[in-house]
């Protein structure tokens, strides 16, 4: 691991780091997170919290650090948090952990107001600060819940927050020149205070393929969807790896029978038999 990164994986070290921030009178920190979103495990999980205060770069491991300490990072009014597009982060923190992401300075509204053609952080850093875009394909599928975390993965996670202070200065300068500063403050306030529904609609149920189904087809699909979710939770697997989304659609369309579905190796044969039987009952 690069020596400039402080990896905090216990309560004592994390509490000492928070005390140090307060003692130094830090009023602004750059924050980012890494999460698991039904890619390797069941459900959504906060996996890392990256914080840069201009002097110290810390990465907190929320899988082992007390949630109260993690909560303090996001809910404390002692320092403003510079972030880049915090909408999904806010949703994860609130729905999964009941954490409110307060005192946010989200740079995405600035990028929208300044009409950047490409709005991804890597593209904006390249355009504004001439920082070469880092290769990220390797880490788009990374299992952030695995431990120990590879050193290059920590470097990747840390990289985004390192430039947020400078990016903020440059974007705010442009906002001021364009007479957009007040509008930015209004939009940032709106984004950071937007209500978050306690439950969201799964992405699969927003797809046209589902929405265009007849009423009976939707009812069958939802029942299969719910049954699959039970087994996914029990096996700690993403639902799509228990029974694929494509197979759910084929089953409802009578283009496939339950006996033909592929199940993960982790599933016991008796579980697989039970699952297929329950699917058959729904479809009959």
Q: What is the pLDDT along the chain (284 residues), one digit of tens a residue?
A: 455 899 999 999 999 999 999 999 999 999 999 999 999 999 999 999 999 999 999 999 999 999 999 999 999 999 999 999 999 999 999 999 999 999 999 999 999 999 999 999 999 999 999 998 776 778 989 999 999 999 999 999 999 899 999 999 999 999 999 999 999 999 999 998 999 988 889 999 999 999 999 999 999 999 999 999 999 999 999 999 999 999 999 999 999 999 999 999 999 999 999 999 999 999 99
Contact 223, 281 (CB under 8 A): no
The verdict on whether omega for the bond into residue 148 sits within 30 degrees of 0, i.e. cis, is: yes
b/e code 200-228 from CB counts within 10 Å (16+ = b): eeeeeeeeeebeebeeeebebbebbbebb
pLDDT given at position 2: 57
Helices (H) and strands (E) in the chain, counts: 14, 6
pLDDT given at position 1: 47
In angstroms, how far is CA 274 from the centroid of its own chain?
33
In order of their start, the domains of the chain are 5-193 (3.30.420.10), 203-283 (no CATH)
Q: Are strands 80-83 and 104-106 parallel, antiparallel or unpaired?
A: parallel
pLDDT given at position 113: 98
Backbone phi, then psi, for 108, in 5-degree steps? -60, -45
DSSP single-letter state for residue 60: E
**268-277 long-range CB contacts below 8 Å, 24 or more apart?**
271/231, 275/227, 275/228, 275/231, 275/243
CA distance 12 to 48: 17
CA distance 268 to 242: 12
DSSP-derived 3-state class of residue 107: coil
Widest pairwise Cα distance in the chain: 67
Which run of H or of E encompasses 129? helix 121-129
Which run of H or of E encompasses 50? strand 44-52
Contact 50, 157 (CB under 8 A): yes
């Amino acid at each position: 691991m690069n020596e400039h990164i402080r990896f905090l994986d216990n309560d004592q070290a994390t509490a000492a780091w928070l005390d140090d921030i307060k003692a130094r009178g830090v009023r602004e920190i750059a924050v980012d997170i890494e999460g698991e979103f039904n890619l390797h495990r069941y459900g959504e999980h906060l996996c890392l919290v990256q914080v840069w205060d201009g002097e110290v770069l810390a990465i907190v491991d929320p899988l082992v650090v007390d949630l109260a300490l993690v909560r303090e990072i996001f809910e404390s009014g002692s320092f403003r948090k510079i972030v880049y597009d915090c909408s999904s982060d806010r949703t994860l923190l609130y729905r999964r952990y009941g954490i409110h992401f307060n005192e946010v300075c989200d740079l995405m509204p600035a990028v929208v107001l300044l009409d950047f053609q490409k709005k991804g952080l890597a593209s904006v850093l390249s355009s504004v600060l001439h920082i070469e875009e880092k290769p990220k394909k390797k880490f788009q599928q990374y299992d952030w819940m695995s431990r120990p975390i590879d050193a290059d993965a920590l470097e990747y996670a840390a990289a985004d927050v390192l430039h947020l202070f400078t990016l903020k200065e440059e974007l705010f300068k442009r906002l001021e020149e364009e007479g957009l500063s007040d509008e930015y403050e209004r939009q940032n306030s709106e984004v950071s205070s937007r209500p978050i529904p306690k439950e969201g609609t799964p992405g699969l149920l927003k797809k046209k393929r589902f929405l265009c189904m007849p009423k009976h087809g939707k009812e069958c699909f939802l029942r299969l969807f719910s049954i699959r979710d039970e087994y996914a939770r029990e096996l700690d697997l993403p639902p799509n790896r228990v029974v694929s989304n494509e197979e759910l659609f084929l089953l409802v369309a009578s283009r496939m029978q339950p006996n033909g579905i592929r199940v993960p190796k982790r599933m016991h044969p008796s579980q697989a038999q039970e699952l297929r039987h329950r699917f058959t009952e729904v479809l009959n």
